Amino acid sequence: MTAGQTRSLAVPGSRMRRFVGLRHLFLDLQRVVLLLVNVVALFTTPLLRRLLRLGPGRVSIGVRLRRFCERMGITYLKLGQFLAMRFDVLPPDVCHALEDLFDAVAPLPLPQVLRRIEHELGRPIEQLFSKFDREPLAAASVAQVHRAWTREGEAVVVKVQRPGIEQIFRADVRNVRRMAGLADWLRLLGRTSAVEMVDEFTSYTLREMDFVTEGRTAERLRRNAVSYEYIPRVYWNLTSQRVLTLEFVEGVSVSKVTSWDTQGRDDLLDEYFGPGGLTEATSNFSHASMRQLFVTGFFHGDPHPGNILFTRDRSVVFLDFGIFGALTPDEMETLASFVENEALGNIDNALHYYEKISDLSPYTDKAAFRREVKLILAQWHHASKDPESPIAERHFGVVMGRMLDVSRRHHVKVRAELLLFFRALLTLNASALRMAHKFDVLHEMEAFFRAARPDVQQRIEAVVRDPVRNFYVRDFVRRLPEAASRVRDGIAGAPFRLAVEPADEPGERRESAAIDAIGLALVAVALVIAATSVPIGTPLRWLLWCTGVLALAPAALMRRQP
């Protein structure tokens, strides 16, 4: 191929890139104009009222911001939902106003839905489903859901993404990121980076638009589920990046159950669950959610009342897997320890673990931050133990809202993934408290942690008595001298092989003494570490400290034996 031929082949690609670039620019300008019009509408009335000294008016800035997001469409709806979690950045009243953006939106016309499905799955609708309901079961900002039946007669739900939202989203994000850069230059959010927030939001939302990822999330949750927890199976032959087909599960939503309970319709509750069955169903919901949050670390990120069903056998069914969270083992352990200690009333320990998930800045008044957080934790635990205290004071959302407000005022940042964890926990708590006279949230949390996480004594016994763990510890210690020698030889240039030969009789006795000494030392260290997890000032803490320190003395003597 000649150079001229190479150039002729490159020209169409270059033209295509220019065309795509111009199309992006045109869409960006369209969205900027719409944005400017709505920004003017957002701020004109408050500005005129301020100039005329008429006061702030009856409509709060949070409500105005929510209406602005609704008018701007998909990107700003999702941005508003994202900001509704950012109690560490925005005032609580603004966050609460933005929470209404999680409600349903106007549905798409059926012909548009059917064309979308046919385009994505590559076949006429008649070849895909034997029956397809005209009316949607639900409609949200990203997609809407219809009930259908497969060609084999199986009932399913089909989630269909709204057309064009990804292109609009990407155009809006480009514009928002430009504005965020200007906001950072002007330091409009103080020491908080607006660009970093936009990047977090973009990543968070794009994964919600990928229905293949959502299907894999459902499958992973399904693999982790226990007997009283159900996750619908995915029909992969009827699924694409923008269409998701799941098994239809019969049940009533938490919203409906709460409505029956609020209206005092015990007859409907007993007819569906059986006498006293609501308490068991709610407990199953609580334990399934806490198990995701504190045991597996992979959790449903939006367990609001519309996304949770109860079956007649009192099992809990999770729906809508677009929002999910995944914690590292260290994050999961820290968060579990924080909530566990708060539920059990170990306030000093709870504060310690909350600090571990908080990113304190050089501008943070650490003493004031700790003092305020500790007071909030103590007040919530006291209110939760008092059955006569108002429901609002027992809501875990109250304690987290106040703590995140303290974090914002003291320039302490919390990562978006951890905020998603707290949002899931708060949603669980809110749903349970709406049935407060039948469900004791604090009692359930205490019961869960006692069952799922053993106490200090049990943890120590597990370490000391576990024969498998002891075998590997002794084996490791037995191999340690020879391994060290091999490493030294390897560094000196000799060939490195990790192989251990049987020891001579005299050396074996000395090695056995060394193993016993190191084993006892490990137990002593375990006792000292365990003491740090016991509340400060308790007798058990001092007992563990003293026992651990005293155990080091015989370990040293054993090590010195010939």
Pick the closest to residue 555 from 508, 523, 530, 528 (CA basis). Answer: 523
Sign of the dihedral through C-alpha 21, 117, 299, 370? positive
Residue-wise pLDDT for 93-135, tens only, equals: 777 777 777 655 678 899 999 999 999 999 999 999 999 999 9
> Are 504 and 442 within one domain?
no
User: Hey, how many other C-beta atoms are within 10 angstroms of the C-beta on 115?
Assistant: 14
- pLDDT, average across residues 265-283: 86
> Are 158 and 43 within one domain?
no
Segments forming the whole domain that contains residue 198: 106-139+142-248
Give 509 or 353, the one with higher predicted confidence. 353
Examine the fold and report which residue of 248, 279, 310 is the final residue of a domain before the chain moves on.
Answer: 248
Task: Determine, yes or no, domain membership for 274.
Answer: yes
Residues 434 and 301: their CA atoms lie apart, in Å, by 20
Highest-confidence segment of 226-240, 243-257, 301-315:
226-240
Residue-wise pLDDT for 177-199, tens only, equals: 888 888 878 776 666 677 877 88
Examine the fold and report which residue of 405, 424, 453 is the final residue of a domain before the chain moves on.
Answer: 453
Residue 11's pLDDT band (cuts 50, 70, 90): very low
Residue-wise pLDDT for 25-72, tens only, equals: 777 777 777 777 777 777 676 666 666 666 666 667 778 888 888 777
Predicted local confidence at residue 156, as pLDDT = 97
Predicted local confidence at residue 80, as pLDDT = 79
Q: In this predicted structure, which of 288-297, 417-426, 537-546 has the lowest mean pLDDT?
A: 537-546
Task: Determine, yes or no, domain membership for 1.
Answer: no
Task: Determine, yes or no, domain membership for 32.
Answer: yes
Structural domain total, the chain: 4
> Are 154 and 69 within one domain?
no
β-sheet with 252-253: strand ranges across:
229-230, 316-318, 308-310, 252-253
Predicted local confidence at residue 267, as pLDDT = 86
Examine the fold and report which residue of 209, 226, 248 is the final residue of a domain before the chain moves on.
Answer: 248
Q: In this predicted structure, which of 201-205, 393-397, 398-402 has the lowest mean pLDDT?
A: 393-397
SS (H, E, C) 549-562: HHHHHHHHHHHCCC
Residues 243 and 411: their CA atoms lie apart, in Å, by 42
Residue 543's pLDDT band (cuts 50, 70, 90): low
Phi, psi of 348 (to 5 degrees): -60, -40
Give 174 or 558, the one with higher predicted confidence. 174
Residue-wise pLDDT for 451-510, tens only, equals: 776 554 444 444 444 444 454 444 444 444 555 455 445 444 444 443 444 444 454 455
